[in-house]
Chains A and B, each alone.
Chain A
Amino acid sequence: MVKSNIVTLRKAKNSIMLLLCFISAIYGIFWLFWILITLVIKGSEAFSLKLLYLDPTPPGVEGGGLRHAFVGHFIIVSLATVIGIPIGIMAGIFFSEYGKRSRLFTVLRMITDILVSVPTIIVGATVYAILVKPLHHFNALSGIVALSIIIMPIVAITTNEMLKLVPNNLREAAYALGSYKWEVTLKVTVRAARNGILTGVLTGIARIIGETAPLLFTSFSNQYLNLNILKPMASLTVYIFNYVMGPYEYWHQQAWASALILTLIILLLFGITRLIIRERRK
Chain B
Amino acid sequence: MVEETILETKERKKAEKLEVVFKAIFGFSAITVGLIIPTVVFIVLLAESKLIIEKKGLIKFLLSQKWDPVSDEFGALPMIVGTLISTFISMLLATPIAIGISIFVVELAPRWLKEIIRQAIDLLGIIPSVIYGMWGFLVLAPFMATKVEPFIQRALINIPILNELTSGTSTGIDVLTTSLVLSIMIIPFMSSIVREAFEMVNPLVKESAYALGATKWEVITTVVIRSSIPGIAGGFIISLGRAIGETMAVAFLAGNRPEIPRSLLEPFTTITVALANQFTEADTELYLSALYALALILFITSFIMLLTAKIILYRLSRNGQI
Contacts and interface: CB of A to CB of B under 8 A. Distances in A.
A124 B279 CA distance: 10
11 contacts: A24-B104, A27-B97, A90-B30, A91-B26, A113-B310, A124-B279, A125-B45, A181-B19, A212-B130, A259-B131, A263-B131
Given A29-B117, A110-B314, A266-B126, A122 B30 contact: no
Contact of B30 (A39, A91, A210, A213): A91
Interface residues of B, number: 91
A216 B30 CA distance: 28
A76 interface: no
Interface in A164-223: 180-183, 185-186, 206, 209-213, 216-217, 220
B191 A28 contact: yes
Nearest to B121: A28
Interface string A74-113: 0000000000001110110111011100000101111111
B23 interface: yes
B34 A112 contact: yes
Q: Interface on chain B toward A: helix, strand, loop, or mixed SS? A: helix
Given A38-B139, A94-B27, A98-B27, A18 B33 contact: no
- Interface SS of chain A: helix
A182 B314 contact: no
A267 interface: yes
Given A112-B34, A156-B33, 13 more contacts: A21-B108, A109-B34, A117-B242, A121-B276, A125-B279, A180-B16, A213-B247, A213-B248, A213-B251, A240-B134, A241-B134, A241-B248, A255-B134
B132 to A, nearest CB: 7
Contacts of A66: none
A38 B48 contact: no
A153 B35 CA distance: 11
Using C-beta atoms within 8 Å of the partner chain, give the interface range for chain A.
35 or more
Given A14-B215, A113-B310, A118-B306, A91 B126 contact: no
A114 B307 CA distance: 7
A105 B30 contact: yes
A2 interface: no
Contacts of A57: none
A209 B101 CA distance: 28
B58 interface: no
Given A113-B310, A262-B131, A119 B23 contact: no
A65 B306 CA distance: 41
Contacts, number: 270
A250 interface: no
A11 interface: yes
A14 B126 contact: no
A144 interface: no
Nearest to A119: B245
Contacts of B101: 21, 24-25, 28
A249 to B, nearest CB: 11
A121 B272 contact: yes
A237 B242 contact: no
Given A22-B104, A245-B252, A185 B306 contact: no
Contacts of B215: 10-11, 13-14
Contacts of A211: 128
Nearest to B191: A28
A260 B131 CA distance: 9
B30 A108 contact: yes
Contact of A112 (B16, B33, B44): B33
Interface in B1-42: 15-16, 18-19, 22-23, 25-27, 29-35, 37-38, 40-41
Interface in B100-132: 100-101, 103-105, 107-109, 117, 119-124, 126-132
